């Protein structure tokens, strides 16, 4: 469950940002999670209430997650494709040789006040 430690860091960052800017309440926290990051959004939703329960600035706050598709460029035919949707295989030439272009990120995208 590495999601809980990453979520804790995101919540701590948002809390510190609110403190630095004299914000009393955070309305929502938006995370951008790549499909290839290894993180499962279901666990972020599950643990968000636990990670924020003793943080008054998060009272009533919502967690939002933007899922970013895993995109790749086939090294053989140069087609771009969705890695997860195609199970890592180029739909055009069936090659498994690829360069990952996106979908590995984990970002705190927005802190709403």
The residue range of the domain holding 62 is: 2-112
Digit-coded pLDDT (tens) for 37-68: 999 999 999 999 999 999 999 999 999 999 99
pLDDT of residue 51: 97
- How many structural domains is the chain composed of? 1
| CATH number of the CATH domain containing 36 | 3.30.2320.80
pLDDT of residue 2: 83
- Under the banding of pLDDT at 50, 70 and 90, the label for residue 8 is very high
- Under the banding of pLDDT at 50, 70 and 90, the label for residue 27 is very high
Cα gap 27→104, rounded to integer Å: 27
Mean pLDDT over residues 68-74, rounded?
98
């Amino acid at each position: 469950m590495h999601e809980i430690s990453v979520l804790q860091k995101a919540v701590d960052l948002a809390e510190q940002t609110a403190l630095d800017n004299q914000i009393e309440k955070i309305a929502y926290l938006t995370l951008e999670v790549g499909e290839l990051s290894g993180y499962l959004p279901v666990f972020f939703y599950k643990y968000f209430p636990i990670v924020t329960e003793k943080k008054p600035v998060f009272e009533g706050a919502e967690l939002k997650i933007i899922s970013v598709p895993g995109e790749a460029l086939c090294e053989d035919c140069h087609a771009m494709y969705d890695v997860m949707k195609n199970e890592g295989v180029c739909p055009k030439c069936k090659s498994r040789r690829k360069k990952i272009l996106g979908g590995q990120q984990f970002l705190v995208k927005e802190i709403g006040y």
